[in-house]
């Protein structure tokens, strides 16, 4: 019986921790949603310019920074956080 009580205590404390983290995440996390057009303007101001386009995807280049960025220019649609971070990282722009 003693082992069963310990396992129940471990399980209940684990649930409490998970519920506590969920509560914290609701109140602490602030999500900033960026539209494609806003991020495109940020890249243009930083010195990136379009070199070619196929459909809605624009290839952008910078005179001083290496590499190309393929930017999905979908206008006023919201961009996912992961894609936004990847594009900013590839462009060498810090938040």
Residues 44 and 69 in one domain: yes
Pair 81, 42 in one domain: yes
pLDDT of residue 12: 47
pLDDT at 90: 93
User: In whole angstroms, what is the distance from residue 83 CA to residue 71 CA?
Assistant: 10
**CA dihedral of residues 40, 42, 47, 49 (deg, nearest 10):** 0
* Beta carbons within 8 Å of 66's beta carbon, 6+ residues apart: none
Instruction: Note whether 9 and 50 are same-domain residues.
Output: no
The pTM of this model reads: 0.65
Q: How many Å apart are CA 19 and CA 12, to the nearest integer? A: 11
Q: Are residues 72 and 43 in the same domain?
A: yes
Domain containing 83 — which CATH number? 3.30.920.30
Range of the domain at 87: 34-91
Q: Do 58 and 77 have their domain in common?
A: yes
How would you write the pLDDT of the chain (95 residues) with one tens digit per residue? 444 444 444 444 444 454 555 444 555 445 567 899 999 999 999 999 999 999 999 999 999 999 999 999 998 899 889 999 999 999 999 87
Shared domain for 49 and 84, answered yes or no, is yes
Number of domains in the chain: 2
């Amino acid at each position: 019986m003693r082992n069963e009580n310990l396992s129940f205590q471990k399980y209940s404390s684990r649930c409490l921790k998970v519920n506590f983290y969920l509560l914290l995440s609701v109140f602490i996390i602030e999500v900033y949603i960026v539209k494609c057009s806003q991020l495109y303007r940020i890249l243009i101001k930083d010195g990136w310019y379009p070199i070619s386009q196929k459909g809605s995807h624009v290839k952008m280049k910078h005179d001083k920074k290496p590499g190309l960025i393929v930017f999905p220019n979908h206008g006023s649609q919201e961009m996912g956080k992961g894609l936004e971070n990847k594009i900013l990282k590839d462009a060498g722009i810090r938040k």
